[in-house]
Structure 1
Amino acid sequence: MFTTSGIEQTHAWKELQAHQRTLIGTHTLRQLFAEDSARFDNFSLQLDDLLMDFSKVCLTAKTVSLLIQLAQAAGVEARRDALFSGDAVNDSEDRPALHTALRSQSKSSLIVGSIDIMTAIRQSQARLIDFAKRIRHGNLTATNEQPFTDVVSIGIGGSDLGPRLVATALRSYHDGPRLHFVSNIDGTHFADIVATLDPCRTLFIVSSKSFSTTETLANAEMAKNWLAHAVGDNDVWRHFAAATAAPEKAAAFGVARECIFELWGWVGGRYSLWSAIGLPLLIAVGTKHFFDLLSGAHCMDKHFCAAPVSKNLPLMLGLVGVWHRNFFRYPTRAVLPYSHRLRHLPAYLQQLDMESNGKQAGAGGRTAVRHTGPVVWGATGSNAQHAFFQLLHQGTDVVPCEFVAVARSHDSALDANHRVLLANCLAQSEALLHGTSGDIEPHRRCVGGRPSITLLFEKITPFTLGRLLALYEHRTFVESVIWGVNAFDQWGVELGKSLIGELLTVMDDEGIAGKDSSTRGQAAHLRRLR
């Protein structure tokens, strides 16, 4: 374990430690509600229709004041400004993290390394729009001169999770070719997706920043072989596009230059859906809806930059996360979207949160705090209620919960069911708060006082979805600054990637001598079975 970081030596941190001990020694969460009839008003924030209710968290006005002091001691606002201005906040790779520029509505320049990246972004967006329109309108056709009916996005991690989440959430807005996603290197994933597709009318978009990701390239090769059987080797190229920061590698694979769309080094994979990685979405929902998604994210960007800390949704959400992780030592958080369309939100946030903040080493060589990113998990309600809510209510570990719900469904015919769904959401957060009372049998007893945050907004639209995802991006960043980690690298992921080539030879009984006995034994067993 690393030594204590600087932030843990600050007055604010030590005051929060003492305050937490006093608070839990004198108050339960239920008592805090009983003593403050305006608790909801005091501990909830709103941005237009988006409500963030954190009144069901064990905190007081003093807690919030101390957390704000902690943010000031950590320099969160200065670090935020550095993020938006293009400073090299990704210090281990010596580059900025400018995903926010991809959705900016500003007409101002943003100079990074003597280059106005806003000009480059606008040029890239123009190419993406033109390509998507030609696919959608049937002007860019398949081998048989027929319009494409299906688009398959091949990627993994950030090149898959964000676009997959958005495509599913915005299903009501799809009016282009059918959209599919392949990520797993397990060949059955590819086989299952293409089983009902016509290769003569299918477009593959290969999304890989480095264009060297093992899983993505393996699936791209499968796509090439699948197409070749139907259209011939000479016409396979007509069925491919690519989003990458390595255009030469994409061209060498066989993608036509005019169908390669550039990424930049300053866009991290898990922050990239706003870039050319979003091309499948642009084809599926069209220009207006895709740019409404960007506008929603930009709305949250502006709020994050301008709102005072006490009224700032991402800042307060991040501070509550720190309060839970570092002062209550809660090791996990559960994400519970009460919307079938948001069913991929927990998986998306697992990568965003744990790949960003699941680290021990601090940014710039500094040491991180003792406890950084929590484990993020979850599933959709009300399904989850019949799976793991038993542990949430009566388990020995306290799990802070984040409920996400929308007031209205897209289809009025579904209103009756949606009303029941919302009642389930409210009932679960209430049950976590109050638990059971009275003299009842121990096995029926729920202690209550279990914390939760609830996010409510009117309806899933491109705008509200963009706003929600930007809220989570910025929450992750706020936590990273306080914990002293770099939210924009992922060296643990790179380690696993670097070993894949070695293990392929081990599978063939080559180069096995240097491996540990477990790896040798497993490889030998697999060779026998194969």
Structure 2
Amino acid sequence: MKNINLTETKSWNILKNHFNIIKNVHLKDLFLSDPHRFNKFSINFENKILVDFSKNRITKDTLKYLLDLTKEMNLKNAIKNMFSGMRINETENRSVLHIALRNQKNSPIFINDYNIMLDINHVLKKMKNFSESVINGNWKGYTGKSISDIVNIGIGGSDLGPYMVTEALRPYKNHLNIHYVSNIDGTHLVEVLNKINPETTIFLISSKTFTTDETMTNAYSAKMWFLKISKEKNTLDQHFFALTVDVKNALEFGINIKNIFQFWNWVGGRFSLWSSVGLSIILSIGFDNFKKFLNGACAMDNHFYHTEHKKNIPIILALISIWYTVFFGSETEAIFPYDQYMHKFPSYLQQLNMESNGKSISKTGQRVSYQTGPIIWGAPGTNGQHAFFQLIHQGTKLIPCDFIVPIYSHNNLTDHHIKLISNFLAQTKTLAFGTMDEFYFKKTIFFKKNIKHYKDKIKTDFLFKQCTGNQPTNSILIQKITPYNLGLLIALYEHKIFVQGHLLNIFSFDQWGVELGKKIAEIIYRNFNNREKINSFDSSTQGLISFYKSFYK
């Protein structure tokens, strides 16, 4: 695939010049100059999701130049390459086909002349049969009791995605209790083990390679805990399951071949919740709801693949993000879901985005001269309003924000939801336009009583209370947080991240920085068993190791 340097395109220079012209233009002026701005800068998808991007510091020219960039960077061809199974993850020589996992049309998708839909459908059927057996109470533990608890042991993509989805879809939850263990800190596992009965619990060991240190450490400890109580090794067959690419390693751990739910190397970990990694989701909400979840993602895949760029939601949001990150130099993006069930969504997007586009080397092996992936952070609204919104309103940082809210709540408690929506709208309005101006202060009682005496106070109050606005936001209204709509939303962000990576000319589907940290941790761990002083580390690391060891003489 041809790699194009972003800074060598004609569009890059046009955008730089355009930025210098409009960088100080205020959103107030953009709305005053065009009363129909909302209609021109919003997209309604299936009446399920409305994306309003009108409160961004862009004009129709900005969008035109950004869309021209997609043509120069040959984005259309890049999308085709991903969907066709080309090995776009070049550093690992792999295809990137999470879209195949939700291919509800079941059209053939080939890798090396083999239709991978055959394997996908086989695993889906296996997950359906198993999940129904557990949910219906037919799957029994080693003492003959039905299952009440599911413990998913994983980390990163094997934890964040499934955990986020099961939380977001709690209104669809059945009677099973779902627990997630990820941290290698023993406290995480112990706290979960204290809540469960081994006779009625099954463990899902979720690891692509079945070698991830945090996951396997927790898995072995859970296995030891279980066997200490059950006292029979063959009882593992009723309670331990593997979600993995590496069948061999799962078998060596002691997982029965029938209990292994496979996925494949062309599924990136952070994009794997659509695969067998999503088994905990199915056990929580049932297979029928999981299919609706896949259907939603498939609908967004079709939109992304077939829709012209100027009306393509993931492409538009990616271009806006690049506009701020590359040209304005903004370093972060904030995600604010105004729905308590979506409280894990910002954490999920942190990994999805930052592990994908947190790169500084271009596809051609050169260090890039521009900012790449932004820092992703956020929290549920309205909690964030009472924590860090002050900085966004009156601080010195430009922080583009995505505000996400459902039109219908799952819990209609008096006027709670109307107040939630009111806060959602108030924040995006205030961030865009500000609210405090001199006219406001001149209407105060101070001015009416004695303008001369209070002139200085009015001026001071104006300075301290002024919110200048011009802070960009996207507003995403979802009809309701349903399995289908959540699938739409997640796939939207997946494709946005793909577009960003392609236009930034970086590889989005590897994570070598993460791998390096794992290797260094292994070296340090081995040195802890050596009582002699080791001089192979830097003085800081060695000093910290020596200090730690001093407590275990």
* TM-score for both structures, normalised by structure 2: 0.93
Letter of the 1:335 counterpart: I
**8 A Cα contact 1:369 1:484, kept in partner:** no
Deviates more, 1:205-214 or 1:511-520: 511-520
Measure, in 2, the Cα distance between the counterparts of 1:366 and 1:473.
25
**8 A Cα contact 2:237 2:259, kept in partner:** no
Structure 1 residue 415: deviation in Å? 5.2
**8 A Cα contact 1:92 1:364, kept in partner:** no
Structure 1 residue 369: deviation in Å? 5.0
Q: In the alignment, which residue of structure 2 is the partner of 1:423?
A: 422
Question: Which structure has the bigger radius of gyration?
Answer: 2
Structure 1 residue 241: deviation in Å? 0.5
Measure, in 2, the Cα distance between the counterparts of 1:393 and 1:411.
30
> Which secondary structure state, in structure 2, belongs to the residue aligned with residue 172 of structure 1?
helix
> Which secondary structure state, in structure 2, belongs to the residue aligned with residue 144 of structure 1?
coil
Q: In the alignment, which residue of structure 2 is the partner of 1:450?
A: 471
Measure, in 2, the Cα distance between the counterparts of 1:236 and 1:202.
11
Q: In the alignment, which residue of structure 1 is the partner of 2:252?
A: 252
> Which secondary structure state, in structure 2, belongs to the residue aligned with residue 377 of structure 1?
strand
> Which secondary structure state, in structure 2, belongs to the residue aligned with residue 402 of structure 1?
strand
Give % identity: 39
> Which secondary structure state, in structure 2, belongs to the residue aligned with residue 365 of structure 1?
coil
Q: In the alignment, which residue of structure 1 is the partner of 2:299?
A: 299
Q: Given the alignment, which residue of 542, 547, 550 partners 1:520?
A: 542
Measure, in 2, the Cα distance between the counterparts of 1:521 and 1:365.
36
Measure, in 1, the Cα distance between the counterparts of 2:365 and 2:543.
38
Number of aligned residues = 525
Identify if the C-alpha distance between structure 1 residues 478 and 521 changes in structure 2 by more than 3 Å, giving closer, same or farther: same
Structure 1 residue 229: deviation in Å? 2.5
Residues 1:279 and 2:279 aligned together? yes
Letter of the 1:90 counterpart: N
Letter of the 1:255 counterpart: I
Measure, in 2, the Cα distance between the counterparts of 1:465 and 1:114.
33
Structure 1 residue 189: deviation in Å? 0.7
Identify if the C-alpha distance between structure 1 residues 243 and 365 changes in structure 2 by more than 3 Å, giving closer, same or farther: same
Alignment of 1:62-461 (within 5 A): 62-234=61-233, 235-365=235-365, 368=368, 370-412=370-412, 414=413, 416-435=415-434, 436-438=436-438, 439=459, 440-461=461-482
Identify if the C-alpha distance between structure 1 residues 366 and 304 changes in structure 2 by more than 3 Å, giving closer, same or farther: farther
**8 A Cα contact 2:27 2:55, kept in partner:** yes
Measure, in 2, the Cα distance between the counterparts of 1:80 and 1:13.
21
Letter of the 1:497 counterpart: K
Measure, in 2, the Cα distance between the counterparts of 1:46 and 1:390.
31
Structure 1 residue 529: deviation in Å? 3.2
Measure, in 1, the Cα distance between the counterparts of 2:209 and 2:417.
43
Structure 1 residue 20: deviation in Å? 1.0
Q: In the alignment, which residue of structure 1 is the partner of 2:520?
A: 499
Deviates more, 1:331-340 or 1:133-142: 133-142
Deviates more, 1:307-316 or 1:127-136: 127-136
Residues 1:480 and 2:501 aligned together? yes
Structure 1 residue 395: deviation in Å? 1.1
Q: In the alignment, which residue of structure 2 is the partner of 1:42?
A: 40
Structure 1 residue 442: deviation in Å? 2.1
Structure 1 residue 366: deviation in Å? 5.5
Specify every segment of 5 or more residues in structure 1 that has no aligned partner in the other structure, as ranges.
Answer: none
**8 A Cα contact 2:297 2:489, kept in partner:** yes
Measure, in 1, the Cα distance between the counterparts of 2:363 and 2:98.
19
Cα RMSD of the aligned pairs, angstroms, is 1.5
Letter of the 1:43 counterpart: F
Measure, in 1, the Cα distance between the counterparts of 2:503 and 2:368.
9
* TM-score for both structures, normalised by structure 1: 0.97
Q: In the alignment, which residue of structure 1 is the partner of 2:443?
A: none
1:405-432 CA distance string (max 9 Å, x none): 11111133x2521111111111111111
Deviates more, 1:60-69 or 1:359-368: 359-368
Deviates more, 1:326-335 or 1:230-239: 230-239
Identify if the C-alpha distance between structure 1 residues 103 and 124 changes in structure 2 by more than 3 Å, giving closer, same or farther: same
1:226-271 CA distance string (max 9 Å, x none): 2123211422342100100111111111111100011100000000
Measure, in 1, the Cα distance between the counterparts of 2:338 and 2:97.
31
Measure, in 2, the Cα distance between the counterparts of 1:364 and 1:474.
22
Structure 1 residue 112: deviation in Å? 0.5
Q: Given the alignment, which residue of 466, 469, 472 partners 2:487?
A: 466
Measure, in 2, the Cα distance between the counterparts of 1:110 and 1:434.
48
Measure, in 2, the Cα distance between the counterparts of 1:205 and 1:426.
41
**8 A Cα contact 2:533 2:546, kept in partner:** no
1:53-104 CA distance string (max 9 Å, x none): 1111001000110010011111111100100010011111111100000000
Measure, in 2, the Cα distance between the counterparts of 1:5 and 1:524.
49
Letter of the 2:253 counterpart: F
**8 A Cα contact 1:366 1:484, kept in partner:** no
1:41-63 CA distance string (max 9 Å, x none): 11111102201111110010001
Measure, in 1, the Cα distance between the counterparts of 2:193 and 2:28.
53
**8 A Cα contact 2:310 2:316, kept in partner:** yes
Measure, in 2, the Cα distance between the counterparts of 1:259 and 1:369.
49
Measure, in 2, the Cα distance between the counterparts of 1:466 and 1:129.
18
> Which secondary structure state, in structure 1, belongs to the residue aligned with residue 534 of structure 2?
coil
Specify every segment of 5 or more residues in structure 2 that has no aligned partner in the other structure, as ranges.
Answer: 439-458
> Which secondary structure state, in structure 1, belongs to the residue aligned with residue 131 of structure 2?
helix
Measure, in 2, the Cα distance between the counterparts of 1:135 and 1:396.
53
Measure, in 2, the Cα distance between the counterparts of 1:419 and 1:198.
42
1:132-171 CA distance string (max 9 Å, x none): 1111122221011111100000000000000000000000
Q: In the alignment, which residue of structure 1 is the partner of 2:455?
A: none
Measure, in 1, the Cα distance between the counterparts of 2:533 and 2:53.
55
Letter of the 1:517 counterpart: S
Measure, in 1, the Cα distance between the counterparts of 2:475 and 2:346.
15
**8 A Cα contact 1:97 1:267, kept in partner:** yes
Measure, in 1, the Cα distance between the counterparts of 2:97 and 2:36.
40
Measure, in 2, the Cα distance between the counterparts of 1:332 and 1:203.
40
Measure, in 2, the Cα distance between the counterparts of 1:423 and 1:10.
43
1:190-248 CA distance string (max 9 Å, x none): 11122221111110000000000000011111211221232114223421001001111
